Amino acid sequence: MTNQESNQQQYPQNHPSYEDEINLIDYLKVLWKWKVFILLIVILCAGAAMGITVVKYPAKQITDCIISLNFPGIEKHKNPDDTLFNKEQVITPAILTKATAFLQKDKSFEDIRGLIDIKAEIPLEIQEQMKKADKAKTSYPFFPNKFNLTLTMERDEIFSIKEKNQILLSIVNEYRKNFEKKYGEEPLVVIEFPDDFLANTDYLDTINTFKARVDSFINFLDAKIAKAGFLRSQKTGDSFIDIKNDLELLNNINISKTEATIKTLKLTKNKDNLINLYRYKIRTIEVERKKKEKEALVATLLLKDMRQSERYEPSKGAVGKKGETNLVLDTSFIKDLIKEDSSSLLLKTALQAEVIAKNLEVDKKFLEEEIALLKEKEKEKEKENIAFVVTDLKDIEGKIVALSKRANELNMEYLGMLVSNAVQVVRDTETSSLRSKSAKKIVLLATVVALFMAVFLAFFIEYIKNASKASSANKIA
């Protein structure tokens, strides 16, 4: 018994299940009959899609590596000197020129900058957080410290894989050298004195030099403390704060005490020069004092004249020729204000000039007394004081130099820690081929579309043929 007969026994011919089974078998017969046609259509469409993709979207050879930047400030997207960090600093024209210097002339590019790119590496969890923040219309700040350095080429035969790898690694090395030179070789505090400094410099000038050097030294330490904080040397245990405290003690005690001694005793290596300097200052003060006295006198006279003129009061109106009174705008309040301001200004000028003149007179008398004291000094006692001051000056000089050496040693250690491992390659170079459009996806899509189209054509052609046969049979009958 055949399958059809068994089916007829199981289901009557007018049963819906019987009709569905018969239709399905017919469909499968049609597909099997046109299988070669369908297969050819699918193969041709897939091949055409592959060819168009290869031609329109050629594969690019991408060589990349991942670098990590680890230095103070990168977590805020800043350089160690607090300037804004930009990833383009890694691939500046100067760095690229040095990095590609090893290439032969026939392989070099005038615009290799267009082949190099650098992108931030953002972890997946951070990307999710950014997407959530974007949906919530808020910001999610993130400052990456890992970057993907890439070399992209459309033709693989220009550079060998070894040359591509060397280009990227050379860029990283050149950036590392530039970074270490810029931030690891800062100018150190330079406090040195010539061997004959104390012998050839007057005592007060020596103190002023010490104070100037100490002020610049403290500014240097303040800048270091702001960056390094409580950093201590692993070798000596020193910190920039300790050195600053020692320096301030030296400045506030030793230097101040020696300066007071020199000024009180009027110690100098050339008394005549100092006396002449004081006399010159006296003449300058005297000229300035006379100017101020003259200024005060002129202001007083002008103020006196103004007060006398205030006795006159202008009329509030005017009488016409025929006895008519013409109204005149009353501007007396404006004049009063002007007079009041002028009087105040003149009074203030006179008082200030008089005060300055008196102060200059005091300065003049002080210098005259200083000259008298310099002339009356006892020789023996002055020698003892000078010997005492010279000893103090030598001690101060030695302490300043010693503190500068401590600061420089600590600073060198700090800079070494700052640039050590600041630029690292965390993933070695890799070369891969990549298209801007996925060839697999395009071919798969083309295959699916071609399959449906071929099946449709197969059924359509079969339907046309069956319809033609039915028409012919009807005509014969």
DSSP state of 150: E
What are the CB-based long-range contacts (under 8 Å, 24+) for 162-168?
Answer: 163/103, 163/107, 164/61, 164/63, 164/429, 164/431, 165/63, 165/429, 165/431, 166/102, 167/63, 167/99, 167/100, 167/103, 168/63, 168/64, 168/65, 168/429
- Contacts of 410 by beta carbon, 8 Å cutoff, 6+ apart: 233, 236, 238, 239, 240, 243
What pLDDT is attached to residue 308?
74
Strand 423-434 and strand 60-69: the pairing is: antiparallel
Alpha-helical regions (H) of 112-239: 124-135, 161-184, 197-200, 203-228
Alpha carbon 422 to its chain's center: 17
Strand 146-153 and strand 60-69: the pairing is: antiparallel
| Helix (H), strand (E) at residue 433 | strand 423-434
pLDDT tens for the chain, 477 residues long, are 444 444 444 444 444 444 445 577 877 888 888 888 889 988 998 888 888 877 777 777 888 999 999 988 888 888 888 889 999 999 998 998 888 888 766 555 556 778 899 999 988 898 898 888 888 888 888 899 999 999 887 766 677 888 889 999 999 999 999 998 888 877 677 778 888 888 888 888 899 999 999 999 999 999 889 888 888 888 888 999 999 999 999 999 999 999 998 888 778 776 666 677 778 888 888 888 888 888 888 888 887 877 777 655 554 444 444 444 443 434 444 445 455 567 788 788 888 888 898 888 888 888 787 777 666 655 555 677 788 888 999 999 999 999 999 999 999 888 888 888 889 999 998 888 766 566 788 888 888 898 899 888 888 888 888 888 777 777 676
| Helix (H), strand (E) at residue 118 | strand 116-120
Alpha carbon 298 to its chain's center: 58
3-state secondary structure at position 143: coil
3-state secondary structure at position 395: helix
For the segment 111-124, what is each residue's pLDDT rounded down to a tens digit? 677 889 999 998 88
* Residue recorded with tokens 């219309």: 137
Q: How many CB atoms lie within 10 A of CB 411?
A: 21
Q: CA-to-CA distance for 443 and 441, rounded, in angstroms?
A: 6
Q: How many CB atoms lie within 10 A of CB 419?
A: 18
Nearest to 203 by CA among 62, 437, 353, 397: 397
What pLDDT is attached to residue 271?
65
What pLDDT is attached to residue 156?
60
| Helix (H), strand (E) at residue 151 | strand 146-153
Q: CA-to-CA distance for 167 and 173, rounded, in angstroms?
A: 10
Residue 96 near residue 171 (C-beta atoms within 8 A): yes
Q: How many CA atoms lie within 13 A of 64 on its CB side?
A: 18
What pLDDT is attached to residue 325?
41
Q: How far is CA 71 from each of CA 171, 312, 436, rounded to the nearest angstrom?
A: 19, 80, 35
Q: How far is CA 446 from each of CA 49, 289, 453, rounded to the nearest angstrom?
A: 6, 102, 10
Give the pair of three-digit tokens for residue 89.
Answer: 């600093």
pTM of the model: 0.54
Q: Which amino acid is at 377?
A: K
Nearest to 151 by CA among 102, 118, 121: 118
How far does the chain reach from its first CA to its final CA, in angstroms?
33
Determine the length of the chain: 477
